């Protein structure tokens, strides 16, 4: 799940300084570190003040969740009186969230927690788009986010705090154009595609819903544009009434593999170990990615390459009306799991924080250049 932990930032105990103390309250439980769960964390004030329909927004924001553990009396006591601060964890299992809730129960500033639905407007606007990305966390490993290669804007005090909170492997991570004005993937339509894919594949993944949330997070890191193909395939399968629909979904699945290859090993004219890796050789390019990053484990390269060949064969068979809809859906789940395996080989190299936003960035800079130099 994606979870929002809520706090009263105007509680007298904070005396106006609440950001780091709230984070310390959460990390002092040790539950995040001990979970070893791969999560991303964001923080920020819930900016409802100033809206003329303040009460309606609060109701839609705090009491529209598929799952929540809200201290309703505490939360409602802040309305019109105090600012609520949220600490957001992407990819937090409900069991971990429940343990955190119990561990924080005696913290007077704690207001409870709720699951976040990015297809619900208030959640998307206030819990996703207006929050500040802070950390990537896995066990006692932490990466501190900064944006658009702005090393001068990094919070140099953050590593000191993380060390105090039990983190031993601490470094920085450029989030690129994610969560900036260049991010075109912050819309309800995009997250509807994400949600459709996640819900469709969850029953087919060994880890169920928790595995589906982690897979979605990894794919967003790589390239959120990939969901255009995956979401299209799922929508078509949901509506499938004849073989042509199944073929369309299979085509979307194959296009997904092609785009995955574009993200991990772009086509080039020169050979890779005697093999052509041009734009059209998408499977060979993915083999080259495996070979390049798993040179010490050729047997694993063979296993993953064989699985890629099998799944690609499923999609290609679906193009010729040779597969039922359920089998294509299973192939979509399989290609998701395979993608997660690919990304786990070299997570840092697999993240492409600018890739999905290149077109928007180039258009912006081209427009700016023409404004200042029309003759260029």
Interacting residues of 57 by C-beta distance below 8 A, sequence separation 6+: 48, 51, 122
Query: For a pLDDT cut of 90, what percent of the chain falls above it?
Result: 56
pTM of this structure = 0.87
What is the Cα–Cα distance from 101 to 296, expressed in whole angstroms?
A: 44
Q: Do 32 and 142 share a domain, yes or no?
A: yes
Instruction: For residue range 214-269, list pLDDT tens digits in order.
Output: 988 888 887 787 777 777 777 777 776 677 888 888 888 899 899 899 989 999 99
Instruction: For residue range 82-125, list pLDDT tens digits in order.
Output: 999 999 999 999 999 999 999 999 999 999 999 999 999 999 99
Predicted local confidence at residue 240, as pLDDT: 66
pLDDT confidence of 132, banded at 50, 70, 90?
A: very high
Average pLDDT (26-35) is: 97
Q: Do 193 and 169 share a domain, yes or no?
A: no
Contacts for 178-185: CB closer than 8 Å, 24+ residues apart:
178/133, 178/147, 178/353, 178/357, 179/129, 179/133, 179/147, 180/147, 180/148, 180/357, 181/364, 182/357, 182/360, 182/361, 182/364, 183/357, 184/356, 184/357, 184/360, 185/220, 185/224, 185/225, 185/356
372 located within any domain: no
376 located within any domain: no
Judged against a pLDDT cut of 60, whether residue 376 lies above it is answered with: no
> Can you give the residue range of the structural domain that contains 352?
188-359
Judged against a pLDDT cut of 60, whether residue 304 lies above it is answered with: yes
* Locus of tokens 């700016």: 368
Q: Do 345 and 197 share a domain, yes or no?
A: yes
Residue where one domain finishes, among candidates 146, 174, 202: 174
Q: Where are the beta strands (DSSP E) in 97-189?
A: 110-115, 132-138, 141-146, 169-174
Structure-token pair, residue 291 = 């070979």
366 located within any domain: no
368 located within any domain: no
Predicted local confidence at residue 160, as pLDDT: 96
Provide the mean pLDDT of the chain.
89
Instruction: For residue range 260-303, list pLDDT tens digits in order.
Output: 999 899 999 999 999 999 999 999 999 999 999 998 899 999 99
Instruction: For residue range 146-162, list pLDDT tens digits in order.
Output: 988 778 878 899 999 99
Nearest residue to 78 (alpha-carbon basis) of 55, 94, 60, 99: 55
Q: Do 250 and 154 share a domain, yes or no?
A: no
Predicted local confidence at residue 238, as pLDDT: 73
Residue where one domain finishes, among candidates 174, 202, 225: 174
218 located within any domain: yes
322 located within any domain: yes
Predicted local confidence at residue 51, as pLDDT: 72
37 located within any domain: yes
Q: Do 151 and 101 share a domain, yes or no?
A: yes
Predicted local confidence at residue 283, as pLDDT: 96
Residue where one domain finishes, among candidates 151, 174, 197: 174
Q: Do 147 and 249 share a domain, yes or no?
A: no
Q: Do 159 and 213 share a domain, yes or no?
A: no
Q: Do 80 and 124 share a domain, yes or no?
A: yes
Instruction: For residue range 16-25, list pLDDT tens digits in order.
Output: 999 999 999 9
179 located within any domain: no
Q: Do 251 and 163 share a domain, yes or no?
A: no
Q: Do 144 and 199 share a domain, yes or no?
A: no
Q: Do 39 and 83 share a domain, yes or no?
A: yes
Number of domains in the chain: 2
Average pLDDT (313-319) is: 90
Q: Do 247 and 345 share a domain, yes or no?
A: yes
């Amino acid at each position: 799940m994606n979870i929002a932990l809520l706090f009263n930032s105007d509680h007298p105990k904070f005396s106006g300084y609440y950001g780091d103390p709230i984070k310390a309250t959460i990390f002092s439980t040790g539950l995040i570190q001990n979970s070893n769960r791969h999560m991303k964390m964001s923080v920020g004030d819930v900016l409802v003040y100033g809206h003329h329909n303040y009460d309606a927004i609060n109701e839609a924001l705090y009491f529209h969740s598929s799952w929540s553990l809200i201290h309703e009396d505490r939360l409602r006591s802040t309305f019109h009186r105090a600012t609520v601060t949220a600490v957001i964890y992407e990819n937090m299992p409900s069991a971990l969230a429940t343990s955190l809730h119990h561990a924080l129960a005696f913290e007077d500033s704690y207001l409870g927690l709720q699951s976040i639905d990015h297809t619900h407007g208030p959640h998307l606007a206030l819990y996703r788009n207006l929050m500040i990305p802070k950390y990537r966390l896995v066990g006692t490993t932490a990466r501190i986010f900064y944006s658009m290669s702005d090393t001068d804007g990094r919070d140099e005090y953050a590593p000191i705090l993380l060390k105090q909170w039990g983190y031993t492997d601490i470094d920085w991570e450029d989030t690129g154009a994610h969560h900036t004005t260049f991010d075109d993937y912050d819309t309800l339509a995009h997250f509807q595609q994400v949600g459709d894919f996640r819900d469709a594949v969850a029953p087919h993944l060994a880890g169920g819903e928790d595995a589906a949330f982690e897979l979605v997070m990894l794919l967003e890191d790589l390239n959120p544009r990939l969901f255009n193909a995956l979401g299209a395939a799922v929508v078509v399968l949901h509506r499938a009434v004849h073989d042509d629909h199944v073929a369309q979904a299979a085509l979307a699945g194959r296009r997904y593999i092609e785009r995955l290859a574009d993200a991990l090993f772009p086509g080039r004219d020169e050979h890779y170990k005697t093999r052509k890796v041009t734009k059209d050789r998408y499977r060979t390019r993915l083999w080259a990615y495996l070979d390049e990053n798993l040179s010490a484990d050729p047997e694993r390269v063979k296993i993953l390459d064989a699985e890629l060949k099998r799944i690609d064969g499923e999609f290609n068979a679906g193009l010729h009306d040779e597969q039922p809809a359920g089998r294509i859906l299973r192939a979509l789940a399989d290609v998701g799991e395979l993608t997660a395996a690919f990304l786990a080989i070299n997570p840092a190299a697999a993240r492409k924080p600018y890739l999905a936003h290149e077109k928007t960035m180039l258009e912006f800079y081209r427009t700016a250049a023409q404004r200042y130099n029309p003759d260029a």
